[in-house]
Structure 1
């Protein structure tokens, strides 16, 4: 890692080095201070939040224990009270309606005195198990009341605790705890049912504190099973809480933080907080540090930039001038640095650049003129040879054949000579080159004493494309010279895709590698014949002169199988390459 940084530093510019050093000198002390303060603040926040949560849990456990103890005490009074039980026994055996009504009123009065004197008690009534009926209720009871539907919190031999659950009081829909105790009577199974009051559970389930508002609560029984859950997805009811241990009272579980407090009776309350909300203050502090980090970073970059510009700006001017050496069309720059020493060096650099491009232009013009002269030389070598041989053919035809053949031959010859002797450098189209090739083949069929087929396939889109003059005829003439005889064929294919692909194939006698090399590189006796060697060299040179490295020229030949010539040219329409 160190070697990588060292290599990077050695390759960087003066400007980057200056900014980098200034940033390090500013940012490193800032990071050290931020880390120290972060760990300190984090410790304070964690201790503060966890201490507050544990304190609230202990207070809630204490309040809930007091309320359940109060329910236990009142249920004992109702279950074992001599006067209440006596009234229930008398009511059970009494048949007289008037007396039964008096007993009921006396029993309700006893219940009202007991419940009204305990404000933390809510709905209270007697439950007759054999008949599944309720009676002597202090508030109206909902019709869906069922002992079996109550969520069991904990069961003891004499009393059972339920909850939390929705109150069965018609006028109250809040969460409550309840208890059920059997009444000491003999005639049937009678139980007293008591709920906690409205204010008892409000602080537990509807907290006003900001920390409590974001929490979710679980209640565990003595065995560690969940009897109530405000997060059924993660902690379903009747499942075991995964962290029930005498030594574990807080921890993290799947992006939540939990704290547990156990009551003296064995049941527990667990508070669950999302980690995001628990870390809210810490995240705010981190965000402030990040903002300060960027502020200090930007300040360091600005200071480093100001320092580097004092030296880097003159160097950049020289860099621009050196880069412009590769572009002859670069606009001349006359900006000054307003530092005399640097301004003088810039002036000398611009003078040097001007002289270099003048020399380059002279060399380029000389090379172009030399290439044009060589191509023109080849043209003048090709055309006289062809003209002389063709005129010789006309002479013999005039002696041996009638006027029609001579007229046909001369007409084709005139057209072909007019095309081939065009001004060097003039461009033509694929269509024009094909028409000239057809005239040439007409002459050759008359000249040679054997028949051969010429098949020409050209994409319609390619007919109007511009190419240099006299590209196809020398290659076809080479095919005729190298062994095309009776039943021979020459196939010319021109296709247009990304490039203009030209393929000329024959079934002649072919050439060896040595013959092919001599054809393209040596001046032999054969090369002085019509079109032989000279034409092929012309095609290669004209492609180089017009397209440079963009064009390719390939020849493949096998003895006894024929020759294939392939050319690939950049596509041109008018004067533009695509």
Structure 2
């Protein structure tokens, strides 16, 4: 149970859970009802079939008993005790022609009366076993008539019953029952009365089947031997019937009735026919179950659609909230609970975006203030140092040097203090950098090699103002000696790639990490700490995460600062 619960709640989707639970809640009661109904209907139908077959067989057995009793009664009239037999005895013992003629006429009249008053009797005659001849027959007898060919049902003192068998009437090929009774004449032996049932009587009795199925009949004698069979391929004539202890044998169900005379009639029906009504009911139950299962699946699908639609709307609202600030048009799910939740979610989304806008605006103001603060910190600092240099140059040197220094200083101050726009072109940034290097050479009376290589394709591209000077200043202040050099290259690759390389003393890993990854404290915001902090903040403010700042350094061999700026237009 625990494993099923884990599987149900950890791996199945909502759709599958709904369908499974809906099917279980619907099919389990139906399966229970169907099972109880099946066994109940099976018992009812089985009893109905068995009772129908047994009752039908009982009616057939009673009808056949009546027919045999009628043969017995008629044969008694023709025997010696019945009167007609006495006249036969007189005829057989008489030698006078006239008397024989009279007796013959009387016998024929008696036969006619008996046949007329017993319509259930067919062929009737006297049979002389010693000569194997017959006389006084009421119908023409077949030439191959023989008692040995007849199937014996049962035999009693002076009378035997046969059948069913084909009639010995020349003009009748239907099945009949027959009786053979000995006529006990005083001076003659082996004289018998042979009587058959009437035309089609036996067939009508056997076809009087109230069940209406494809059942067949078997007759057995007193010893259980099959005397007549309608299924000779399965139940062979003159063999003992093997279904004494089992109601099903050789693919047939059987039902038996034993007469008071000792013979038995058995009704056999194929198992498929016996189960036809049960199978018909089972097919109906199956089709109904299939219909019920289809309806259940359809209802589960409708339930899923009722849930899936609102879930889709929630998913769309979440995507819209993460992608943009647009307000989606309200869509009704036609389910009050979900419509209420969607309304609350849209209100929450609007409040979140309003909060985002407020935070973003405050952050932008804070960044602008920080940049403004850094610019005001950097520019007065540089200006004071430069003016101090002018003072000492004025004392120590002539006016030509002062003129050159002041000219470069004016150009640089004009560029750095120019706040009419936040960005410049790469050409303007390189020009300002050259003026800065001129001032540094005059200030320190120090000659160093500066190599500037710029791809002509990037000269007009925009760049944040005052972005290169802090990096170059860092190279000047950290390790250049008399034979030092600074190499500045600007190339166009996937973006604008700027490299500032020197051969100074280099930087340690901790120093690089301090510059790139740690926030500067107020105590750091002097000297070159101010410059590199300005570069990082300017790149983040201008390009976000699209720009790249990297520092590579080897102790004693120099440092390389790499800037990669994305390609954007000047108005962006």
Unaligned runs of 5+ in 1: 318-336, 349-578
Residues 260-409 of structure 1 correspond to what in structure 2 (within 5 A)?
260-309=256-305, 340-341=316-317, 344=320
Contact 2:15/2:304, CA 8 A, preserved across alignment? yes
- SS of residue matched to 1:224: coil
**Alpha-carbon spacing, 1:194–1:6, altered in 2? closer, same or farther (3 Å):** farther
Equivalent-residue separation in structure 2 for 1:296 and 1:238 (angstroms): 54
Q: Deviations over 1:16-74 (max 9, x none)?
A: 33222211111111111222222222222222222222222222222222221221222
Equivalent-residue separation in structure 1 for 2:41 and 2:259 (angstroms): 33
Shift of residue 279 of structure 1?
2.3
Alignment partner, residue 38 of structure 1: 38
- SS of residue matched to 1:193: strand
Shift of residue 103 of structure 1?
2.6
- SS of residue matched to 2:247: strand
- SS of residue matched to 1:67: helix
Alignment partner, residue 116 of structure 2: 116
Contact 2:76/2:82, CA 8 A, preserved across alignment? no
Query: What value does the CA root-mean-square deviation take over the aligned residues?
Result: 3.0
Shift of residue 213 of structure 1?
4.5
Alignment partner, residue 249 of structure 2: 253
Equivalent-residue separation in structure 2 for 1:107 and 1:280 (angstroms): 56
**Alpha-carbon spacing, 1:66–1:275, altered in 2? closer, same or farther (3 Å):** same
Alignment partner, residue 242 of structure 1: 242
Unaligned runs of 5+ in 2: 325-572
Equivalent-residue separation in structure 2 for 1:309 and 1:116 (angstroms): 86
Q: Deviations over 1:184-240 (max 9, x none)?
A: 22335221100112364244322364x245211111211111111111122111111
Contact 1:215/1:274, CA 8 A, preserved across alignment? yes
Residues 408-487 of structure 1 correspond to what in structure 2 (within 5 A)?
none
Q: Deviations over 1:415-450 (max 9, x none)?
A: xxxxxxxxxxxxxxxxxxxxxxxxxxxxxxxxxxxx
Shift of residue 339 of structure 1?
5.7
**Alpha-carbon spacing, 1:305–1:138, altered in 2? closer, same or farther (3 Å):** same
**Alpha-carbon spacing, 1:344–1:28, altered in 2? closer, same or farther (3 Å):** same
**Alpha-carbon spacing, 1:98–1:27, altered in 2? closer, same or farther (3 Å):** same
- SS of residue matched to 1:172: coil
Shift of residue 124 of structure 1?
0.5
**Alpha-carbon spacing, 1:83–1:257, altered in 2? closer, same or farther (3 Å):** closer
Alignment partner, residue 101 of structure 1: 101
Alignment partner, residue 162 of structure 1: 162
**Alpha-carbon spacing, 1:156–1:6, altered in 2? closer, same or farther (3 Å):** farther
Alignment partner, residue 477 of structure 1: none
Shift of residue 81 of structure 1?
3.6
State whether structure 2 residue 80 is matched by structure 1 residue 77.
Answer: no
Contact 1:27/1:293, CA 8 A, preserved across alignment? no
Alignment partner, residue 550 of structure 1: none
**Alpha-carbon spacing, 1:212–1:158, altered in 2? closer, same or farther (3 Å):** farther
Shift of residue 256 of structure 1?
1.8
Q: Deviations over 1:70-114 (max 9, x none)?
A: 212221221224643343344335555554433322111112222
Contact 2:108/2:136, CA 8 A, preserved across alignment? yes
- SS of residue matched to 1:31: helix
Equivalent-residue separation in structure 1 for 2:252 and 2:75 (angstroms): 39
Equivalent-residue separation in structure 1 for 2:83 and 2:114 (angstroms): 13
- SS of residue matched to 1:240: coil
Shift of residue 165 of structure 1?
0.5
Contact 2:63/2:205, CA 8 A, preserved across alignment? no
